[in-house]
Amino acid sequence: MNSSLIPPHGGYRELKSFQHAELVYDCTVKFCDQSTNHREEKRIVPI
C-alpha cells in the first residue's frame, strides 16, 4: 500500500486541520503585535 497522508500534488491547504492551525497562528501573531509596546522598548537605555 503506497498511500501517504499528503497526496503528491499537495492539497494540504484544503485540510481542516491546516486551516485551523493557520488561523491560530495568524491570531497569535496579531495578538503579539498588539500587546507588545514597541515605543517602550526604544526607551530602554543600557547602563
Length of the chain measured in residues: 47
Question: What is the distance between the alpha carbons of residues 38 and 33, in angstroms, rounded to a whole number?
Answer: 9
The domain locations on the chain are 12-42
Tell me, what's the pLDDT at 27? 95
pTM: 0.58
Question: What is the distance between the alpha carbons of residues 26 and 40, in angstroms, rounded to a whole number?
Answer: 24
Q: Which phi and psi (to 5°) does residue 39 adopt? A: -65, -40
Residue type, 25: Y
In Å, how far are 4, 12, 47 from 31, measured between CA atoms? 35, 26, 31
Could you report the per-residue pLDDT of 1-47, keeping only the tens digit for each? 566 776 677 788 888 999 999 999 999 999 988 887 666 556 666 66
